[in-house]
Structure 1
């Protein structure tokens, strides 16, 4: 028969009644007679617990409440970790997306400058050479086609 562990308060309840012997208390609590005798000695000396601070007993309701709070905290922590992973992935995709856009933006800004130069050239010189502009625009188009092909 496996003997169970009992709190000091479990023994004290039987000691206070005074109607049962140590053997009967041991049978009811499922512990050894020696344990009952030791606890009775401490109780008769006026000690309030077996070992001060060695063991704390809590009610089943309190234990279930603490367990449910721990479970809720675990769920919240997993949810936050998941959100963090999603945000981290989004940031990584953002960096990749930005890295892909940067070269295109540089080339596009170069093209805008070239087109702006043509417009400025047109306003400064009344003798605007359309063939020169067409050649430059065709080179820009071919360069942009090469970028798209890459």
Structure 2
């Protein structure tokens, strides 16, 4: 319970909004749709939200799914997701996403988004150091 309260305070302090698959924001929508696909173990759909560079790197939805399951378990099975700060760059948009995992730990990830002919795609995700709350 304490972890949930701390996570809520953390999110409120950052002015974050809850995840919505029907988000009017196209970048949040792509990320939300990929997270939903991971939650359903639909790695083919999750892979469809990856950029051409990521798709070339992993080659198949199964390889991509294995990488996420093993390297980003909080993304594979998030308990809660909210959106944080966004930074626009010349060729990409960096979107911070706060994910609470099933154990209640809070993770901040930075999604690099690129616009393609097929719309926004995820070009990479990096794990950021989450600020300590109540320490």
Q: Sort the TM-score into its range (normalised by shorter chain).
A: under 0.3
Query: More strand per residue: 1 or 2?
Result: 2
TM-score normalised to structure 1 length: 0.17
TM-score normalised to structure 2 length: 0.19
Higher relative CO (Cα under 8 Å, sequence separation at least 6) belongs to 2
Query: More helix per residue: 1 or 2?
Result: 1
